[in-house]
Chain A
Amino acid sequence: MNETTLIGLVISILQFGTLLYLAALGETIAEKSGVLNLGVEGMMAMGGVIAFFVGVGTGNPWLALIAGAVAGAALALVHGLVSVVMGADQVVSGLALTILGLGLAAFIGRDLVSEPPGAQFSALDLGPLSDIPWVGPTMFSMTAVSWLALALGAIAAFFLTRTRVGLQLRAVGESAATADAGGTAVVKFRLVAVAIGGALAGMSGGYLTLSLAPGWSEGTTAGRGWIAVALVIFGAWKPGRVLIGSLLFGGLIALEPRLQTFGVEISPILLSMLPYVLTVAVLIAISIRSRNRPSVAPAAIGQAYRREER
């Protein structure tokens, strides 16, 4: 096993980690406010196709990325409107969002399939830092988007734990009625959280089509949105742990095509099952642990909130 292959592996891990983390971070924020959004795959696809489209049109990767984020947020607000404001079932609405997002993305992108990418993110040149052995060619050669993901994660963690608004967001996700009684606008918080979740998922899709696998094709999201949903649980709804999980699951994805080079005989397909199996195991562990104490899951997740009348 030589250095180049190992470095290649690490780079790939960081790339997939970024992809997964952006989407999972967004979903974490949404779920923390009590909204389950199963439409991540759809938002990712929409973000990806719009970002690619804008990239081809303008040649500016940042504009494209932002466009992708906006597309994701817009789609997420459909789910928000129907399930948070109107109180319809979040599971059904989220799944419909996945179907809608994937279908719409395929529709919009039908002519973009063999189009060469118009804009891409290249590795950030950090000067002498990239010459450091091992860390240089890997971590310090990440694209700006990866650094952005890290920054967003740090901001989210700070925001959730150290600001009162973050406290209110968490309160809305634990007990909407209590938060409401204390003067917090439940619906507003949830909508904003869902929109942020959509924006990050869209950004993740944009990263996919602009950087990780430049180009657009139907199905390019390849189930990664579902991994992001799993990651939120795996990371116990904490941005820091979700990051670790993203790297872990990203590592599993990165290993798939490389198993043979590393001399491992297991079929890569079986390896790719691991993230899902691991998530189920973690979920079971959480359930067993919360027999005698409250679960780490936001208590109000999935429940619509309507103020009662008197």
Chain B
Amino acid sequence: MFAVELDGIWKRFPGVVANAGATLRVRPGSVHAVLGENGAGKTTLMNVLAGGYLPDEGSVLLDGKPQHFTRPADAIAAGVGMVHQEFRLIPTFTVAENVVLGSGPWLLSKSAIETQVAELADRFHLATTPDREVWQLSMGERQRVEILKALWTDARVLILDEPTAVLTPPEADELGRITRSMADDGRCIIFISHKLDEVTSFCDEATVLRGGQTTAASLPVADLDAGRIAELMVGEATEVSQRRNRIEPVGDTVLDVSSVVVTDVRGRTVVNGVSLDVGAGEIVGIAGVAGNGQRPLADCIAGLTRTTSGRVTVDGNDITTDKPSARSAAGLAYVPEDRLGVGLAPRMTVTENTMMRSYRRLSKGPFIDRSAADAETDALIDTYNVKVGQKKSPIAALSGGNLQRLLVGREVETNPRVLVAAQPTRGLDVQGVAAIQQLLVDQAAAGIGILLISEDLAELFALSDRLLVMHEGRVVGTFDPDDATRADVGAAMAGVRQTATAGITVEGA
């Protein structure tokens, strides 16, 4: 009998089917990996198990008994605990206070709960400091608090969502030891991951998801090989996508990124010495599972995040310490991942959003030339085929596709030399995706260099002249889309070391 059984789980959200009949079977006392690339449905499936979502169809069984969770508390009561990617801890509370918050005795005494938490931690060889406040802790320590929370409620099933994404290598090893000791205690651990090396080190079995379905169930890890896994994750090696016509030869370098290192607010190195260059008329794609440093890299090139070390040059001009507006003036355009949070102002009108880059130019003295702004907006809407209801209405009313067309159009109208586009087609419908992709291709044809960061491998294969793969803050491989296979790229995305072959260039370790 399986400790956990998910059978034929379907879960739909507006516009997307996250799980399409996915299944999962976990044996008691085992460490089980759930693998897949972004959008495969891993987190959704685990949220179903943890009571966060109610499945549209399908059943959840624990130790053979059907379960019906309506909210996370039900799952917790049934013995399922989940540690999410973003921790749910209260920074000003101590470790002990965070652990006992969900359940415990009515009366608390500081020393008593700290002792009890310490005892629990000892049982599972979890190093922790029950009396320290969480905001002072490192990510690894915080994660252990999350695990303790689950153990405190005696979770028999513990789900960890991309746990090593926030850990240093020694911390990751420590986590492996902890999960092993919990498994030996008869519990089962489920690892959501996209990293092959950690799967092979820590897990007993692996289930692979793709497109919301289970493509391989409970494969013993010992039988795994990188190629096969990558194939299961990203699809058949023979998939062919439409390639665009390349411009040959590529023009001068318009963007040069040299050994850039970025550290986040907690001191973690999120971009670890990335170097790349983009030539005029070239589209350089960056592939990689989300969270491997792509977003910090993009923000850093755009000037929203500080560069810890390294240089960024546009058209020969060093812009490493420039503010975002200065970089725009230097010829850098940016289409950020976070459309409505950074690139556009949701409560302002369409015209007000389109003039974000040009309003200074459109000003006569202290006033903005309204008619000129309107004219420019009209031209933009026309050129880029944006469907707006009312120019005067808040921009949040536009659909995702139209928002993106507006954003890309606005950036392109600044006549940049290089355009950095982060996840430009994410969340768009078919027409939207096609429109944006065409826009990018047209801009490249016009001589703009494009750095395209995307989680959509098909798109990258179709559009890129060169395809880089980022993993854990580094560029781990450069591929020629004409020659490389999806499986090769997929493997690189999963952290598998590449061997230099035709079409694959390997970066030094």
Contacts and interface: CB of A to CB of B under 8 A. Distances in A.
Contact of A310 (B53, B88, B91): B53
Contacts of A161: 110
Interface in B83-119: 88-93, 97, 100-110
Which residue, A167, A175, A299, has most C-beta atoms of chain B within 10 A? A167
A171 B101 CA distance: 8
B53 A299 contact: no
Contact size range, B: 20 to 34
Main secondary structure of the interface of A (DSSP, over half): helix
By CB atoms of chain A within 10 A, which of B92, B97, B100, B103 has the most? B92
Contacts of B102: 182-183
Interface in B105-136: 105-110, 135
Interface string A88-114: 000000000000000000000000000
A174 B90 contact: yes
A165 to B, nearest CB: 7
B3 interface: no
Contact of A177 (B88, B91, B105): B88
Contacts of B93: 167, 170-171, 174
B109 A162 contact: yes
DSSP class of B's interface residues: helix, strand, loop or mixed? loop
A182 to B, nearest CB: 4
A167 B97 contact: yes
B76 interface: yes
A174 B73 CA distance: 20
Interface string B356-376: 000000000000000000000
Contact of A182 (B101, B105, B107): B101
Contact of B90 (A162, A175, A310): A175
A163 B13 contact: no
Contacts of B92: 174, 294, 299
Contacts of B346: none
Interface in A166-181: 167-168, 170-171, 174-175, 177-179, 181
A183 B105 contact: no
A310 B50 CA distance: 15
Contacts of A310: 13, 52-53
B72 interface: yes
Contact of B100 (A162, A164, A183, A184): A164
B465 to A, nearest CB: 39
Interface of A: 161-165, 167-168, 170-171, 174-175, 177-179, 181-184, 293-294, 299, 310
Counting from the closest, the 8 A-B pairs by CB-CB distance are A183-B73, A182-B102, A178-B88, A174-B90, A294-B92, A181-B88, A294-B135, A294-B91
12 contacts: A162-B109, A164-B100, A164-B101, A164-B104, A167-B93, A170-B93, A179-B90, A182-B88, A183-B72, A183-B102, A184-B101, A299-B91
